Structure 1
Amino acid sequence: MFTYPEKLQPGDRVAVLSPSAGLPAVFPGPFELGLRRLRDEFGLVPVEYPTTRVLGATPQQRAADLHAAFADPEVAAVLVSIGGDDQLKLLRHLDTALLAKHVKPFVGYSDATNLLHFLWNLGIVGYHGGVVMVQWGRGGMMHPATSESLRRALFTRGVHELRSPQEYTDVDRDWADPAALETEPESMPASPWSWHGPARTVSGPGWGGSLEIVDFHLRVGHYLARAEAYDDGVLFLESSEEMPPAAYVYRVLMCMGERGLLQRFGAVLMGRPKAWSFERPNGPRARAEYVDAQHGAVLRALGEYHPDALVVLDVDLGHTDPQLVVPHGGTITVDGAARRITVEY
C-alpha cells in the first residue's frame, strides 16, 4: 500500500532544493524565472536552502537540506531545481525514519529518480515530472499541458487522463542567451502514442523514471525491493538528454529481464525519446532514425522477456516538451482496448 501526501493550498511554502547539480549558481536566469512562476502563477512561496545555489555541495550537505525541508512543518512540498548525475550518493546519508514520518509531495525527474525510488521503498507516492529550471523556467511561458499536469498533481485528488499532444519539441535552449527565456521553443508535429500488446486493462502502482538511473540501481542493487514487490505494477521509463544508443536501452531492459524484474510489470510506458542535443543537433531524418532504433530495442527486449506486456511508446513523460506528470507509487491505469492512460494524483 502506498500513501499519498497531502495536497497543496495556495500560499503554501515549498522547498526548492538542488539535491543533484547546483546549476542555479551557473544559470540564475531560468531558475529565477521558475521561482517567479511558482509565486505568481501557482500561488506558492518558494523557500531556498543553503545548497540550492551552490555548485559542488557534498552529498552530506545536500542530504542535510533534504532532511531540513522534510522535517519543517511549515514546508508543504519539496521541489528540485534541476537534475544531474550523482544524486545516488545522497541515499546512504538519508534518515529513513525522518522521511517516513514527514510525508509530503516530492516532485522531480531525471536524476531525482533516485529519491523517487527511495520514497517508493517507504511506501510514499512521489511525482515524476517538473523541475524549476526547465518546466517552470521554460522560455516564453509554461507549456499549458505541463502546467495543467503539475497543477493537478500538486493541488487536486482524483483520476486524470493523460493525453497525447499534437506538437512537441526536444530542442534545448541556450541558458547563456537571455533571449532563450523570452521566446517559446519551436514545436513540431508529435506522432501519436504507439500501442502494442493485448487489448486488456492494467492498473497498479507506477515505478521507473529515468532509464539511466534505473540502470544505476540495477548495478548498485541496494535500493531495489524484492522482485515480487513490483508485481502487477506499471513500469514507466524515459531516456535523457544524453541520448543513449538503442543498444544501451536494450541492455538495460535485458538486465531487468535477467533479474526477473521486467516480467513483473503488467504494462510498460516508454517516454517519447529525446533525439536532439547540443552535441548532436539532429535533423528530422536523424531524429526519426534514432526514435525508430529505440522503439526497436524496447520491443525486442519485451518480446524476449515479457511478450504478454501491454506496451505504449512515446508517452510524453520525459525530457521532451510538453511533459506530463506521472505518480511514482500512485495508481496508473493503462486501458489497451480504449487506448487510454489515466493516473491517480
Structure 2
Amino acid sequence: MLPPSLRKSDCIALVSPSARLNDAFPAAIIRAQQVLSDHGFRVKTIFEKLKPDQSYEDQALHRCDELHTAFRDPEVKAVMCTIGGSHANNLLRYLDYDLITTNPKVFVGYSDITNLHCAILAKTGMTTFYGPAALSELAEYSHPDTSTMDNLFRMISNETDTITAGPLPRSLEFSPALLAIFYGEKEGPRERRPSPGWKWLRNGQAQGQLLGGCLSSLLHVVGTVYCPDWSGRIMFIETAISDANRRNGPDISKVKEQMVDLMNHGVFDKIVGLVVGRPYGANYNDDAVQWKLYHDVLLDVTSEWSWSILAGIDIGHTSPMLTLPLNVPAELDSSTDRFEILRPDVV
C-alpha cells in the first residue's frame, strides 16, 4: 500500500512518538515549522506535555493518541517525527493499525522510529519513509541541508520532476556531527568534510524491496509480530549514537554483537543484499583504523553469504541524509556502481 503523494499547500503534522524535546528546543521547532511553510506546506504540531505522574503505559498511550490524532485528521496528509530517541517500541502493542490502514499517509522519521516503520509495515503493508526529522535536520542552523530536503521531497511529493524512480544520489561532502544544540553548545554552521564516498565491500547485483533502519532499534522488533518478513529484501542499516559519549557512535564490539544478533535471528539467510549507512561519530570519522574495522566486521559476520554489500550511504545519523521508502523495489549493482529505486513510492 502506497500513501497518497504530498502536494503543495497540504498539511504536515509534527509528532513526537519517541523523545519529547519540543519544550527543550522551542526555537528549533519553530524553525522546522517555518522551513516546511517556506516549502509551501501548512504545519500542525501535535504535542501535549506528559504528566510527571503518568505510568509507563499511560505515557505510551498518550504518545499513541497523538499519532492517532494525526492519522485521523483528514486535513493532515503527512506525519513527520520531530526526532528519534528511545522507547518507541513501547507503543507497538497500543497502535491502532486499522486506523492507519484506512487513513494511509506519508510517515517520515528515523533512528528509534525504526520500531514504528517496521510495525506499520508488518501490520498494514503501508510504505513509510526512513528520512529526516524536524528537530535534527529541518531545524539546522541557519537552514537545512539542501540535498537532504531535495531527497525528502523527491520521495514523498509528486510535484517535482525527480519523483520518478532512479539512481540515488551521493554526497560530495558530509557533516560528522549532530547539531550544536544536542551538545549543549551555541548554534552555528556544522563542520563539513569531503565525503569518502560509497564503497562496495562485496560485489554483486540484487533486486528486492527495501527494509531496514537503525541497527540497534531493529533488534527490538526482529523475531516479533511487529517485524515484516525479510525474504527477498535488500536490507539497509545504520548506527546510532553511543550511550556513553554523544560525539561517538557505538563501539565496534557493540556493532559486531548486534550484527551477530541479526545473524542468529536468521535475517541474513533471507535477504538478497545489504546497504550500510556511513557510521556516525568521531570514533569512526576521525579514525581511519576504526572505519576499516567497521567494514571488516560487516564482512566477517556475513562471510557465509555471497550477497553484495554497499557501504557509506547517506542514511540515518549523518548529513546530508537520503530518504528511503520501505517496501519499495530497489536494485544494487556493483558493476555499474548503482543503488536505484525501481518505481515511484507515492501515488
TM-score (norm 2): 0.88
Once residues 21 and 230 of structure 1 are traced to their aligned partners in structure 2, the CA distance between those partners, rounded to angstroms, is 28
CA shift, 1:179, in A, is 4.8
CA shift, 1:197, in A, is 2.6
Aligned to 2:112: 111
Aligned to 1:204, what secondary structure does the other structure show? strand
On the 8 A contact 1:38/1:44 being kept in 2, the answer is yes
Once residues 105 and 300 of structure 1 are traced to their aligned partners in structure 2, the CA distance between those partners, rounded to angstroms, is 37
Q: Are residue 238 (structure 1) and residue 238 (structure 2) matched?
A: yes
Aligned to 1:197: 202
* Aligned amino acid, residue 214 of structure 1: L
On the 8 A contact 2:273/2:332 being kept in 1, the answer is yes
Aligned to 1:279: none
Number of paired residues? 326
Distance 1:231 1:29, change over 3 A: same
Once residues 6 and 263 of structure 1 are traced to their aligned partners in structure 2, the CA distance between those partners, rounded to angstroms, is 34
Aligned to 1:192, what secondary structure does the other structure show? coil
Once residues 224 and 43 of structure 1 are traced to their aligned partners in structure 2, the CA distance between those partners, rounded to angstroms, is 35
* Aligned amino acid, residue 252 of structure 2: A
Aligned to 1:187: 192
Once residues 227 and 185 of structure 2 are traced to their aligned partners in structure 1, the CA distance between those partners, rounded to angstroms, is 42
Alignment of 1:9-24 (within 5 A): 9-24=7-22
Aligned to 1:24, what secondary structure does the other structure show? coil
* Aligned amino acid, residue 223 of structure 1: Y
Q: 1:257-314 deviations in whole A, cap 9, x for unaligned?
A: 22221121111001000123xxxxx5964x323322221111111113x2x1110011
Aligned to 1:254: 260
Query: What's the RMSD between the two structures over aligned residues?
Result: 2.0
Match of 1:159 among 138, 154, 165: 165
Aligned to 1:93, what secondary structure does the other structure show? coil
Runs of 4+ with >4 A deviation? 53-57, 176-179, 282-285
Aligned to 1:112, what secondary structure does the other structure show? helix
Distance 1:120 1:139, change over 3 A: same
* Aligned amino acid, residue 102 of structure 1: N
Distance 1:54 1:139, change over 3 A: farther
Aligned to 2:167, what secondary structure does the other structure show? strand
Aligned to 2:117, what secondary structure does the other structure show? helix
CA shift, 1:161, in A, is 2.0
On the 8 A contact 1:30/1:175 being kept in 2, the answer is no
Aligned to 2:181, what secondary structure does the other structure show? coil
Alignment of 1:1-345 (within 5 A): 3-40=1-38, 42-51=39-48, 58-121=59-122, 122-156=124-158, 157-175=163-181, 179-180=186-187, 183-200=188-205, 202-218=206-222, 221-225=224-228, 229-242=229-242, 243-276=249-282, 285=286, 287-304=287-304, 306=305, 308-343=306-341, 344=343, 345=345
Distance 1:35 1:55, change over 3 A: farther
Aligned to 2:302, what secondary structure does the other structure show? helix
CA shift, 1:34, in A, is 0.8
Once residues 77 and 9 of structure 1 are traced to their aligned partners in structure 2, the CA distance between those partners, rounded to angstroms, is 10
Q: 1:27-57 deviations in whole A, cap 9, x for unaligned?
A: 11222111110111x2111112243x65877
Once residues 265 and 23 of structure 1 are traced to their aligned partners in structure 2, the CA distance between those partners, rounded to angstroms, is 36
Once residues 51 and 3 of structure 2 are traced to their aligned partners in structure 1, the CA distance between those partners, rounded to angstroms, is 30
Once residues 120 and 175 of structure 1 are traced to their aligned partners in structure 2, the CA distance between those partners, rounded to angstroms, is 33
Aligned to 2:245: none
Once residues 22 and 176 of structure 2 are traced to their aligned partners in structure 1, the CA distance between those partners, rounded to angstroms, is 22
Aligned to 1:70, what secondary structure does the other structure show? helix
Distance 1:274 1:254, change over 3 A: same
On the 8 A contact 2:284/2:291 being kept in 1, the answer is no
Aligned to 2:80, what secondary structure does the other structure show? strand
Comparing 139-148 and 85-94, the one that deviates more: 139-148
On the 8 A contact 1:29/1:178 being kept in 2, the answer is no
CA shift, 1:255, in A, is 2.1
CA shift, 1:174, in A, is 2.5
Comparing 263-272 and 291-300, the one that deviates more: 291-300
On the 8 A contact 1:275/1:291 being kept in 2, the answer is no
Distance 1:284 1:153, change over 3 A: closer
On the 8 A contact 1:23/1:55 being kept in 2, the answer is no
Aligned to 2:180, what secondary structure does the other structure show? coil
Once residues 284 and 268 of structure 2 are traced to their aligned partners in structure 1, the CA distance between those partners, rounded to angstroms, is 33
Once residues 55 and 143 of structure 1 are traced to their aligned partners in structure 2, the CA distance between those partners, rounded to angstroms, is 35
Identity in percent: 25
Aligned to 2:325, what secondary structure does the other structure show? strand
